[in-house]
Amino acid sequence: MRADARDNRARIMTAADDVFGRSPGASTDDVAKLAGVGIATVFRHFPTKTELLEAVLTLRLERLRDRARELAGSDDPGAAFYAFFTQVVSESTSKLAIAEALTAAGAAAGAEARAAGDGMREAFDALLVTAQKHGAVRSDAEFPEVYALLIGASRGATAAKLTPETRDRMLALVYDGLKPRG
């Protein structure tokens, strides 16, 4: 791919992430305008809106996976676990909007997005296990329920349109429940 084509694709992805993250009903025309390219350029890279949405969702999940893997090497596994949890919840409104737009387009997440999601869950599980080994998360909290808390907190913060301050207080309550007793 030529340098200008790579640059256009990157601008389209950035614009799509922003546009669809704010409004699931946005159009590819909105993406083209924000990216500073013509609609034909958008469709040259992404022949359908569904393909563009899938690419943006995949990129989001890959970034979360990579962030969790990066945090896995932290000197403070507890802080790393809680920082990642907070990041996921903080970014949930726009990620859920993108997923909603994909569903509204009549599609489900494809193989690449599912693989990125699986990778993100595996990396989150590794953060959890390491945080537990270092005494930052209670040992009886297993991945399924902790992941359900992550999903619930994300969806709840989005549905209730929590302010950052209220979201942080809600997370403090969740974290208090995850900390070891005694």
Q: Are residues 169 and 89 in the same domain?
A: yes
Q: Are residues 3 and 63 in the same domain?
A: no
Residue closest to 106 by CA, chosen among 49, 64, 155, 55: 49
Q: Are residues 65 and 122 in the same domain?
A: yes
pTM score above 0.95 = no
What's the pLDDT at 107? Answer: 67
Range(s) of the domain holding residue 29: 1-47
Q: Are residues 43 and 54 in the same domain?
A: no
Query: Is-contact 132 145, C-beta < 8 A?
Result: no
Q: Are residues 37 and 126 in the same domain?
A: no
Q: Give pLDDT tens digits for 36-70.
A: 999 999 999 999 988 999 999 899 999 999 999 99
Could you give the angle at which helices 77-90 and 143-159 cross, rounded to 10 degrees?
40
Q: Are residues 78 and 101 in the same domain?
A: yes
Torsion of CA 104, 157, 113, 36, to 10 degrees: 70
Q: Are residues 110 and 29 in the same domain?
A: no
Query: Is-contact 84 32, C-beta < 8 A?
Result: no
CB burial class (10 A; 0-12, 13-18, 19+) of residue 91? Answer: middle
Q: Are residues 39 and 60 in the same domain?
A: no
Low-confidence ranges of the chain (pLDDT < 70): 1, 107-109
What's the pLDDT at 2? Answer: 82
Distance CA 33, CA 90 (A): 27
Q: Are residues 55 and 106 in the same domain?
A: yes
Distance CA 136, CA 152 (A): 21
What's the pLDDT at 170? Answer: 96
**Number of domains forming the structure of the chain:** 2
Q: Which CATH number does the domain housing residue 16 bear?
A: 1.10.10
Tokens of 1: 């791919």
Q: Which CATH number does the domain housing residue 77 bear?
A: 1.10.357.10
Q: Are residues 43 and 64 in the same domain?
A: no
